[in-house]
Amino acid sequence: MKVLVAVKRVVDYNVKVRAKADGSDVDLNNVKMAINPFCEIAVEEAVRLKEAGVASEVVVVSVGEKSCQEQIRTALALGADRGIQVETEGAVEPLVVAKLLKGVVEKEQPQLVILGKQSIDGDNNQTGQMLGALANMAQGTFASEVKVDGDAVSVTREVDGGLQTVKLKLPAIVTTDLRLNEPRYASLPNIMKAKKKQLDVFSPADLGVEVKSHLTQLRVEPPAERQAGIKVASVDELVDKLKNEAKVI
C-alpha cells in the first residue's frame, strides 16, 4: 500500500511571530521555519504504518517555493521514501493546494493520503476536506487513532462530544490531530541518507492546475494585548460585575 503524506513549511512553533511594520504580512525575515507540527504527526503515522508492514512506500509531497525542499528532506530523514515538490511562488490558498494535491494523487495513486488537520500559520483546516471532495475520496478528519484493516481504514476522530470512529473504504484521506502519535527525531544517519533519496519537482502546469487566488489579504496585525485582571472581594461583587460591567450573565 502506498501512502502519500502532505507537509507544509511554516514558522517554527517556538517562534513568536510578528507582523511587518507596514501590516502587509507576518515578518518572516530570519525566522526559523519547520514542518507544520500536524504534518509531522502525519509523516510519523505513515512511517509507523510502513514499519508495521502495512504500507510499502511513503511518498511525501509539499507545495511551495524551493525552500520547502528543506521540510521534504526532513520528512525523508524521518523515514519517508521519496519526495515530491510542487513548485509555486508566494502564498497559495487551501483550494489551490487541494487541487495540486489532487493532481499528485492522480499521478501516484496512493491508497491512503495523510495530512495534518491544519497548519499553524493559516489555521484554515480546509485542505484535507477539499482534497476529499475534489478527489472523491472518503475522509476521516482529526484522527487520534488510525487502523488499516484490509481494504478499509478505521479512524477514531476527536470531535466536540468525545471520540467518534468511522470506517472508510480505501483509498481514503486522513487528517491528523495532536494526540495521534508523538513524532520521532530525525537521527543523524537518517539525515545523511535522506540527502540521497529521490526528490521530484513538478510545476502546477505539469499537474494541469492553474494557480489563481480567490482571496486578498487586507492587513495583518497582532491581537490586542490582554488587560490585567482584577481581584474581587466577594462572590456578590463578582456576580455584580459579571452582570452589570461585563454583561455576560
| C-alpha dihedral sign at 131, 136, 142, 148 | negative
Quick one: 187 or 198, whose CB is closer to other proteins? 187
Using CB under 8 A as the binding rule, whether residue 189 contacts other proteins is answered as: yes
Interaction with other proteins in 194-233: which residues (CB under 8 A)?
A: 195
The yes or no reply on residue 192 touching other proteins (CB under 8 A) is yes
Other C-beta atoms lying within 10 Å of the C-beta of residue 165: 12
> Side chain identity at 238, as an amino acid letter?
L
Q: Which stretch binds other proteins (CB under 8 A): 51-59, 155-163, 167-175, 187-195?
A: 187-195
The interface mask with other proteins, positions 50-79, x = CB under 8 A, is ------------------------------
Burial class (CB in 10 A: 0-12, 13-18, 19+), 199: middle
Q: Which lies closer to other proteins via its Cβ, residue 191 or residue 207?
A: 191
187 forms part of the interface with other proteins (CB under 8 A): yes
Taking the C-alpha atoms of residue 93 and residue 96, their distance in angstroms, rounded to an integer, is: 6
Taking the C-alpha atoms of residue 8 and residue 100, their distance in angstroms, rounded to an integer, is: 13
**Piece of 87-95, 137-145, 172-180, 186-194 that binds other proteins (CB under 8 A):** 186-194
Quick one: residue 160, left, alpha or beta (phi over 0 = left, psi -120 to 50 = alpha)? alpha
- Nearest distance from residue 183's CB to other proteins, in Å? 11
Among 29, 123, 162, 185, binds other proteins (CB under 8 A): 185
Q: Which three cell numbers stand for residue 45?
A: 503515522
The pairing of strands 199-202 and 152-159 is unpaired
Cα 8 to Cα 85: distance, rounded to the nearest angstrom? 11
Q: Which stretch binds other proteins (CB under 8 A): 142-150, 191-199, 204-212, 222-230?
A: 191-199
Positions in the binding site for other proteins (CB under 8 A) = 185-192, 195
